Amino acid sequence: MAKAKFILKEPNAKVETLIYLFYNYKYKRFKYSTGEKIHPKFWNKSSQRAKTSKQFPEYPEFNSRLDKIENGINNAFRKLLNDGIQPNNSYLKDALQIELSDNLLKPNKLTLFEFIENYIEESKLNKSIGTIKVYKTTFKYLKEYAQKYKPLDFETITLEFYNHYLGFLKIEHNLSNNTLGKHIKTLKSFMNEATERGLNNNLEFKNKRFKTIREEADTVYLNIEELGKIEKLDLKASPRLERVRDLFLIGCYTGLRFSDFTQINPENIVSDNTVIEVRTKKTGQRVSIPLHKTVRLVLKKYKNKLPKAYTNQKMNEYLKEVVCLAGIKELVETTITKGGKIEKSVLPKFKLVSTHTARRSFATNLYLAEVPTISIMKITGHKTERSFLQYIRVSQKENADKLLTHPFFK
């Protein structure tokens, strides 16, 4: 016989904890987050209701709400049988929502996928194209998982789902750890937004074990000597590569992202042509950057109006040609975890350079020049030293050379 039980999510908690409804029927188990919370000291495990207590004066109304949920699940189960529908967890959830919706006077709550679809449309008004692309890809993977394994809604985003979903992304899509982590982070942001809007009561996604996976990427930077080689290249015979080189150097000596250093206009150059002021596209922060002599030369060359940039993809392709012509071909070993397996490769350095190498080179070169970290962060826009230090690409030898000048080693 089908039976409902109310169980605390964390019965030994020292603060309020969520109450789950468990409904056992026909050798199956339905789990539902009631959205109700209670401190364990006010909970009667035997009656599965709040204790009669002066310290918890709202217990009558609280228990009444649990009664309503229990009656709702029993009615939902019975109606499905009466309608000739074989109950399963998905049907039960829909039927229970109807029972709890005050005779359908209230509109049905959005499902997870309906919310994500609406949220992506909303985000097109105020978020970057790159962010929307990530949202859509994350949504695509979620829909594929739901179609292949089991339906997803707010209540099914649990630790059990998390572990299975990681395997799905790793094995079936051969994603690297950082790409996989990006999609978990995006899912968590969807859940956070839905929770703040009152659409979700399931907070398992906040559990510390529901974590965003990340591994340090084997990325490179270009030191001052290498940047000098690139700057000295005579590329007049190839306007395409000359344009890419010049824009890249702007990025290397300003620390701006591709989306920002390719949009510098005369009005961004202030303080008697000594400072660039830009409001960054990604974060909306306003940053002020002293003009490096190389930046001055490039701006003078184009009369403070930089040439139109290629797409980021094309820039990356052409940039590798530029760096190769500069003779930056030292072999670099890289490792990446894809599909749960570590893959190693050895590539010439120029093949690892991209437009984002400019920003990383800027941060690393200033760090090696002993510019205070807080000053560099004011330009790069990093809010924490931890996130900033992920940009620093200092080899063991470079670190040792830097320490040689420290008073401790003198």
Does position 106 have pLDDT exceeding 50, yes or no? Answer: no
Write down the pLDDT at residue 141: 95
Looking at every residue in the chain, the average pLDDT score rounds to 87
How do residues 250-276 score in pLDDT, each as one tens digit?
A: 999 999 988 888 888 888 888 888 899
- 317-347 tens-digit pLDDT: 999 999 999 999 998 877 666 666 676 778 8
Q: Would you state the pLDDT for residue 29?
A: 92
Q: Six-digit token pair at 400?
A: 């040792």
Q: What is 224-409's CATH number?
A: 1.10.443.10
What pLDDT sits at residue 198? 85
**From CA 28, how far away is CA 89, in angstroms rounded?**
8
- Name which of 87-91, 105-109, 155-159, 207-211 the model is least confident about: 105-109
- 112-206, superfamily in CATH? Tyrosine recombinase, N-terminal domain (1.10.150.130)
Q: List all residues 6 or more positions away from 265 whose beta carbon is below 8 Å from its beta carbon.
A: 304, 305
Question: What does the pLDDT average to over 173-180?
Answer: 87
pLDDT for 338: 64
Smallest Cα–Cα separation from 176: which of 221, 136, 219? Answer: 219
Helix residue spans in 83-111 (DSSP H): 89-99
In the predicted model, is pLDDT for residue 102 greater than 60?
A: no
Query: For the segment 11-31, what is each residue's pLDDT rounded down to a tens digit?
Result: 999 999 999 999 999 888 999
Alpha-carbon gap, residue 324 to 255, rounded angstroms: 22
Range in 17-21, 228-232, 375-379 with the lowest mean pLDDT? 375-379
Query: With bands split at pLDDT 50, 70 and 90, how would you rate the model's confidence at 103?
Result: very low
Answer yes or no: same fold for 112-206 and 224-409: no
Q: What are the residue boundaries of the structural domains of the chain, listed by start?
A: 3-99, 112-206, 224-409
Check if the beta carbon of residue 29 is closer than 8 Å to that of residue 23. Answer: yes
- Dihedral sign (CA 172, 174, 177, 180): negative
**Residues 35-48 pLDDT 10s:** 899 999 999 999 99
* pLDDT the model gives residue 213: 80
In the structure encoding, which two tokens stand for residue 140, read together? 């695509």
Rounded CA gap, 116 and 135, in Å?
9
For residue 104, what pLDDT is reported? 42
Output the pTM of the full model: 0.57
